[in-house]
Amino acid sequence: MEQFRKLGIIEPVIKTIEEQRFTAPTEIQVKAIPYVTAGRDVIAQSATGSGKTLAFGAGIIKECEKGKGLQALIVTPTRELAEQITRAMAVFSRYKPLRIISVYGGVSINPQIEGLPTADVVVGTPGRILDHVGRGTINLRDIKILVLDEADRMLDMGFIDDVQKIIAECPRKRQTLLFSATMYEEIVHLAKRYMNSPVNLVAESYVDASKLKQVYYDVPDNMKFSLLVHLLKNERAGLVMVFCNTRINTDFVAKNLRKNGVESMAIHGGFSQAKRNRAMDSFNSEKVYVLVCTDVAARGLDIKGVSHVYNYDIPKNSKDYIHRVGRTARAGHEGKAVSILASRDHDNFRAVQSDSSLQIECEPLPTFERVQLNFGLRREPRGSRGRDGRQGRGYGQGRGDGQGRPGPRRFQQDSHGQSRSGFRPRGGQGPNRSHYGQRSRDDR
């Protein structure tokens, strides 16, 4: 515990750290905690799961006193992250109790209104915090410490104006701690405008690149889901995250995985908070080993034991790809990131591969059977744009295997070692459609 004590962490928190059996501080904790506990403003570039909560929580617990009013505010982009931080802060403050509550949308506001008058620390999302400010149910004038967590994600989600409004409600004389996985120009501008001579810190990725294997498969349009089922049934090691770009695809994939004997749960922003909490509880307790999710729902969650990440839909850029695959190969464990490409994914994948730091290998296709699908989900209108901005065809498009042949069949790559849909990485000009025909129903 001497390594933690040397950072300036107070004894009540050290006692909790001992009980949690932490063996050594993480890089961001070593770099940030001495400045945080000394009262300095800090800008820290650090990935999800790198130990940020203790990094800023150590200072909050040291400076705040129970019953002295609201003294610390932690602003986060998502409900799940707000709950996660609240639970972690409650653990770290066990021997110096503080009243810590979370405020976010999607749940009744009344319990929050009842709890805020006695809160010492509030963890919340920007919109709900401003809602309370407008109602007069939260008062930020005595804030000592303001934490902006996952600042880049708040920017991505369009919260920058809300964040600035929240900052304006806080006193000028305060400590501000900003944590972000990436540093946009807008974040730097925000820091210059609202922070007082901040210390700039960078922690290396918590992901061990030497232990992360990155591969992609290129499949005919009608075999994408079938390959996913095959891989999930034959490559299980630990917990698995499957990423989709839209809510409707997330529901579709999770439902059909269950139909095909793969226990899974979906999580996205369209769920009620209670349903999202149940999904996360089932996944974290390993009652369900596959979590199908969107980027927004999964960002910021620290989920341990993820052995595989699957990109069922390919993200639009390398930044989002890196955030996804960073869920695995953590803290010295092996991990694998798998991207499954149909023809509609080629443009996005070329954008991902334009990042020269990524080494994603083409994997030979195994022999696998086409599986049956259930199309009983709500359909997008024909020709409408989905949430990911691409032109949609609707779930009713296509028949059978794309050539009018229903029923199971096997698929394997050709004898030349190339996938039959013809994808050529890094700027190659593959055909728009594979010779297996137009996109069929299981290319969702």
- Quick: pLDDT tens for 139-181: 999 999 999 998 988 888 889 999 999 999 999 999 999 998 8
What the block records as the tokens of 170 is 């806080």
Give the pLDDT confidence score for residue 404 in this predicted structure. 33
Give the pLDDT confidence score for residue 385 in this predicted structure. 36
Give the pLDDT confidence score for residue 145 in this predicted structure. 98
What the block records as the tokens of 7 is 């950072």
> Is 2-202's fold the same as 209-411's?
yes
What's the chain's average pLDDT?
81
Residue 185: CA count within 13 A, CB half-sphere: 0
- Which CATH number is associated with domain 209-411? 3.40.50.300
Which CATH code, of 3.30.70.100, 3.30.420.310, 3.40.50.300, 3.40.462.20, is assigned to 2-202? 3.40.50.300
Contact present, 33 and 58 (Cβ < 8 Å): yes
Sequence spans of domains, the chain: 2-202, 209-411
Q: 106 vs 423, which has greater pLDDT?
A: 106
Task: At 218, give phi and psi (nearest 5°).
Answer: -115, 120
Q: Which amino acid is at 353?
A: Q
Name the β-bridge partners of 361. Answer: 215
**pLDDT digits over 190-207, tens only?**
888 999 999 999 886 555
* Contacts of 302 by beta carbon, 8 Å cutoff, 6+ apart: 48, 49, 84
**pLDDT digits over 81-95, tens only?**
899 899 999 999 999
Q: 433's torsion region: left (phi>0), alpha (psi -120 to 50) or beta?
A: beta
**pLDDT digits over 25-46, tens only?**
988 999 999 999 999 999 998 8
| pTM (global) more than 0.75 | no
DSSP state of 165: H
**pLDDT digits over 353-411, tens only?**
998 888 899 999 999 999 988 776 544 333 333 333 333 333 333 333 333 333 444 44
